[in-house]
Amino acid sequence: MTYRQIKWLILLIPTISVGLWEYVRHTVLLPYISMNTGNWLSAIIVFLVTLYFLNILFGRLERMQQELQRERSEKAVLEEREKIAKELHDGIAQSLFFLSVQVNKLGSEFSKDDKSYNKLKKTLQHIHDDTRSAIQNLRNVPAQDDISWTTSLNAFFNEMETQHDFKIHREWRLQDEDLTSKEKIELFACVREAIINVIKHANTNEVWLDTMKTPKGWVCTIVDKGTGFDSQEPTEGFGLKILHDRAYSMDWQLKITSTAGKTTITIEKEGNA
């Protein structure tokens, strides 16, 4: 039902109610009820009919307003994300590219075994990769109504497997309706960042991804059986910091445990967070 139709129904329902009652009253009920009683019944009947139908119509109007507001909010978020992505691409990403070119030119002045030069080159490459990852994540548009969010996730997983000769063992039990639009964006970003970190740093070609609903929310677990790291020490990249920041912004619980041969990342939503 369109907004225009609802508006006309709001205008017509009281008029039609009065007309129908007066017709029945004068053609059928006139011998049985007095004029005064009929007037009181007119007011009561019109009130009840109007209250019933207008309550339904106003409820639909409120839902339409909420949907419109949600669409406007999502559009504003997408526009802002695209703006930030463009600024990153035109500014930081290009500067890093030119900087990497200059560093490569300096490579002739250093030996291939120079640790400081190799560390600088590796760090610069990590920063460049993380920036590109951030740009791609910002430009990742959430699925439209005809393409489910889980379908988009599986498309990303398939792409990672194809591009990196990588296996993602999936047990994805969450449905689209289990998360809000913002939660879908942020959880997708967290899962993406975790998988890219595994590809870049874990020295393995497998990862296990599991999600499930809980009585108070849901939990997402990413496990790899790679080299691991000391979870008490900071790492060279920014991937874990990005995960921490995203989880904190959504009031999710993030737990990272790592030993030689296994790393586990757990993202959990509790209650109405």
DSSP codes, the chain: --HHHHHHHHHHHHHHHHHHHHHHIIIIITTTS-HHHHHHHHHHHHHHHHHHHHHHHHHHHHHHHHHHHHHHHHHHHHHHHHHHHHHIIIIIIHHHHHHHHHHHHHGGGS-TT-HHHHHHHHHHHHHHHHHHHHHHHHT-PPP-TTS-HHHHHHHHHHHHHHHHT-EEEEEE---GGGS-HHHHHHHHHHHHHHHHHHHHHS--SEEEEEEEE-SSSEEEEEEE-S----TTS--SSSHHHHHHHHHHHTT-EEEEEEETTEEEEEEEE-TT-
Q: Is 77's pLDDT higher than 80?
A: no
Q: What is the pLDDT of residues 123-145, one digit of tens each?
A: 777 777 767 766 776 666 554 44
Q: Is 248's pLDDT higher than 70?
A: yes
pTM: 0.54
Q: Is 75's pLDDT higher than 80?
A: no
Q: What is the pLDDT of residues 95-109, one digit of tens each?
A: 777 777 777 777 666
